[in-house]
Amino acid sequence: MALFEPEHEKLRPDVNSQALSVIAVENDFVEGVYEKLATVYDVFFGPILHPGRLLALQRMNIQPGTRVLEVGVGTGINSALYPHHCHVTAIDFSAPMLAKARQRVSRKGLHHVTLMEMDAAELTFADGSFDIVYAPYFVNCVSDPLKVVREMQRVCKPGGKIVLLNHFRSTNWFMSRFDRVLTPLTVHVGFKSDLDLPGFLSQTGLQPISIEKVISGLWSLVICRRD
């Protein structure tokens, strides 16, 4: 069952203006990191993060004909999980990552999955193009997560779902400080460990219908309804 944490129900008073992370990164830096990770990503992040991927697909409850946008497809690990009765468009900014994804999609014959190279902060799709917009393990990897999620909101149809699977800064006092300390290190393996969820929800205007902890509570599955 998906549960809301108390801290998310009553946001802290400074969430509208607070910094979401202690570190800022540029697109060129992110692109360089994932160019290096492309050949080893599946080995290091495949099995350990897979339970979250499976749960996210289960919770999305994808119906026949559903139009899905996956933002940050990486090496295409999710591609084989989608039911064949839906239409999936999957994008990524990293050419080396997409090359791996294309190999996977071709090898598995996933004709319902279309891959595109695109900047998630500047989506080229029309407003309301998708029923579900899904970002797995992605929004804490980009230079401007707020801009990315606002683009996700724009291309999601009214009443559709926006789904985030991500690590956010812990609400535990000690672990929260630990996330802050780790971020300058974790950014070199592709993500910021201290992205603040209450601030993120407040500043994007996202209204979650469920927030569920996954993988030993270290990651969160956040499902929102597009107004």
pLDDT in tens, 124-152: 999 999 999 999 988 887 888 899 999 99
pLDDT average, residue stretch 177-197: 65
| Predicted TM-score of the model (pTM) | 0.82
DSSP 3-state of 154:
helix
Distance CA 165, CA 134 (A): 8
Predicted confidence band at 183 (pLDDT cuts at 50, 70, 90)?
A: low
- Return the bridge partners of 166, or none: 220
Distance CA 119, CA 130 (A): 17
Question: Exposed, middle or buried, 61 (CB in 10 Å: 0-12/13-18/19+)?
Answer: exposed
DSSP 3-state of 156:
strand
Out of 24-28, 107-111, 192-196, least confident range: 24-28
Query: From the centroid of its chain, how far is CA 123?
Result: 15
Instruction: Give the pLDDT confidence score for residue 10 in this predicted structure.
Output: 41
The residues spanned by each domain of the chain are 6-225
Domain 6-225 belongs to what topology?
Rossmann fold (3.40.50)
Per-residue model confidence as pLDDT tens digits over 30-66: 565 556 666 666 767 778 889 999 999 999 999 999 9
Distance CA 79, CA 104 (A): 8
Q: Could you tell me if 161 and 133 are in contact, meaning their C-beta atoms sit under 8 angstroms apart?
A: yes
Residue 71, CB half-sphere, CA atoms under 13 Å: how many? 32
